[in-house]
Structure 1
Amino acid sequence: MSGAGFHVHGPHDHELEHAAQHEPQGLAGRLAVVTAVLATFGAMFGYMGGATQANAGLYKNEAAIKKTEASNQWAFYQSKSGKQNLAELAAVLVSDEAKKSKYQDEIERYKTEKAEIKHKAEALEAESLAWDRKSEAQMHEHHRWAQATTALQVSIALAAIALLTKKKWMAWGTLAVGSVGIAVGVAAWFHL
């Protein structure tokens, strides 16, 4: 907005000129950008670490539920075994053939019921084991996310030290540790 040699600045023009003159340059400007990028990755990795830890807990809980259900089935199996044993004893002790036949039928019924109960208990134990394995896998992944997040936090701390000391080698350390953190995060992403 100039006319006849007279130039008037608007508020926006003034802010743009001020930013251009006082914008961080050199090491400080680059470290500011690197720190922002590292903090963004750190936030994402922290979220994933929390999510995998929560999943591990849920899966471990499901494993415990299935283990309890299997234990209940085994108790039921033992109950049927006790009844079968009593029927077998009664069949031996009774002299009446009609009653003996009745006890033999009960013995066969208990054997069939026990086989079904045993099959169900074993299936529940297998489910429990599968949930345990899922939980362990999630915890492994959680540890990877936590390692990645920690490396990024150390990297951000190194960036602050590099800014205060104006040491270039410290800035390179920031990049090196940050790269390690990102690499570990990538490993977590691919479940390694």
Structure 2
Amino acid sequence: MSEGGFHVHGPHEHELEHAVEHAAEGHHGVAGGSLTNQVAMFTAVIATVGAIFSYMGGATQANAGLYKNNAAIKKTEASNQWNFYQAKSSKQNLSELAVALVSDDRKPLYQKEIERYKAEKAEIKLAADKLEAEALDWDRKSEEQMHQHHRWAQATTVLQVSIALAAIALLTKKRWLELGMFGVAALGTAIGVLAMLHI
């Protein structure tokens, strides 16, 4: 229940409630009670695992966005450094032109300026290269998080299919559907493990 008094159902909650109701009926002697209890318990466990996978999917998607934002900030900072580098290059070019145009007694002053601009440009280039490398690193991290997000989303979807199969198994009392439900759940769990391992 949320603070405002509204309760938002996840895609699996209705089926879970339905399964629990049937489990209670099965416990009181309704035919197929063993199957019903087994499916209800399974559904509760898989719904819990699915909720965890869903949370992890949301977290990795948020991280991907944050990392992409960090990359954009670093790219902007690098661009600012390169603009600063260009400004120093322009000043250096003017000093080089001045060396060619001024009298010999003033040439050392402009030559000194040229050397200062060269040193400043070298420092600026180092800073810009570092920022570009950081931007690339944040981009890589963002892509990794998005890949992991897709894995979590795939795992969650497969588990929801398994829960749907559980509901159908409860309604039809078909053993092969129950086996299918377990198989699909195993597949969803395996995909979740891949997400956990960043594969």
Counterpart-to-counterpart distance in 1, 2:94 and 2:183: 74
The 5-angstrom pairing of residues 121-136 of structure 1 reads 121-136=128-143
Deviations 1:66-85 (A, max 9, x none): 11000000000000001100
Range 25-34 or range 151-160, more displaced? 25-34
Counterpart-to-counterpart distance in 1, 2:85 and 2:182: 62
Counterpart-to-counterpart distance in 2, 1:168 and 1:34: 14
Residue 116 of structure 1 is matched in structure 2 by 123
What is the TM-score normalised by the length of structure 2? 0.84
1:84/1:126 CA distance change after superposition, 3 Å = same
1:20/1:169 CA distance change after superposition, 3 Å = closer
Counterpart-to-counterpart distance in 1, 2:37 and 2:105: 98
Residue 86 of structure 1 is matched in structure 2 by 94
Residue 102 of structure 1 is matched in structure 2 by 109
The answer (yes or no) to whether the contact 2:26–2:36 under 8 Å persists in 1 is no
Counterpart-to-counterpart distance in 1, 2:46 and 2:144: 26
Question: Which of 133, 136, 139 is 2:146 aligned to?
Answer: 139
Residue 38 of structure 1 is matched in structure 2 by 46
Counterpart-to-counterpart distance in 2, 1:20 and 1:82: 86
Query: Deviation at 1:187?
Result: 1.2
What is the TM-score normalised by the length of structure 1? 0.87
Query: Deviation at 1:40?
Result: 0.5
| Aligned: 1:28 with 2:36 | yes
Counterpart-to-counterpart distance in 1, 2:118 and 2:26: 86
Residue 185 of structure 1 is matched in structure 2 by 192
Residue 8 of structure 1 is matched in structure 2 by none
Structure 1, unmatched stretches of 5+, are: 1-17
Residue 166 of structure 1 is matched in structure 2 by 173
Question: Which of 43, 54, 60 is 1:52 aligned to?
Answer: 60
The answer (yes or no) to whether the contact 2:26–2:33 under 8 Å persists in 1 is no
Q: Amino acid of the residue matched to residue 95 of structure 2?
A: A
Structure 2, unmatched stretches of 5+, are: 1-24
Counterpart-to-counterpart distance in 2, 1:21 and 1:145: 38
Query: Deviation at 1:98?
Result: 2.4
Structure 1 residue runs of 4 or more that deviate by more than 6 Å after TM superposition: none
Specify the structure having the higher radius of gyration (Cα): 1
Counterpart-to-counterpart distance in 2, 1:111 and 1:46: 54
Measured on the aligned residues, the alpha-carbon RMSD in Å equals 1.6
Counterpart-to-counterpart distance in 2, 1:89 and 1:83: 10
